[in-house]
A and B are shown apart, each in its own frame.
Chain A
Amino acid sequence: KQEVTQIPAALSVPEGENLVLNCSFTDSAIYNLQWFRQDPGKGLTSLLLIQSSQREQTSGRLNASLDKSSGRSTLYIAASQPGDSATYLCALRNNAGNMLTFGGGTRLMVKP
């Protein structure tokens, strides 16, 4: 059974800092991996999706990497802003089916 862990659970940084969020998983037979953002009381916003054959994806200040052999993905946020404050979730889709397995999330606070 796939298990997904996100570290740290919470993170507080000053504005402008570059930061890395971590996601680790136990089963490397994944179809794709996705990073989401969730604001309090809101739904999920998809940030980046990495296919199994890819090693990274970039969108603006965000860069996500995938290393299946080590069971890890990272989300890099450059020049963080207060508006980046949210919970970030990683989720994996396994080869066997269509369902996603979510990590516990990282609550990010960027202080002005």
Chain B
Amino acid sequence: GAVVSQHPSRVICKSGTSVKIECRSLDFQATTMFWYRQFPKKSLMLMATSNEGSKATYEQGVEKDKFLINHASLTLSTLTVTSAHPEDSSFYICSASGTGGFHNEQFFGPGTRLTVL
């Protein structure tokens, strides 16, 4: 159990376009989802936390109008990078936690590699 998927796994886009990344919990209800960003050879940096049906809470320094997060259902959260620029190129990873036996830890997706040309 506790499988989290991300789609797409890899995306290349032109500067100025918007890109949407999906994060799904496949076998449990994710009451909370987290979005991380990882630069090459660096650790994970938390971008935002979202609870189902509520607005996301963004970490300091993360532009909420740049990185739009929607958590409209208990199995799906989306991260939209608006007007992407080359400096937004990164590895984006989501994680999810739920209730009951899924409350104790975060379960991570496989990540999405975004390259902005």
Contact = CB atoms under 8 A, between A and B. Distances in A.
B: interface residue count bin:
20 to 34
Given A104-B43, A105-B43, A49 B105 contact: yes
A44 B95 CA distance: 10
A98 B109 contact: no
Contacts of B6: 43
A104 B47 CA distance: 16
Nearest to B49: A99
Given A42-B111, A43-B111, A100 B106 contact: yes
Interface in B4-32: 6, 32
Contact of A98 (B43, B97, B111, B113): B97
Contacts of A105: 43
Contacts of B109: 43
A103 B103 CA distance: 22
B44 interface: yes
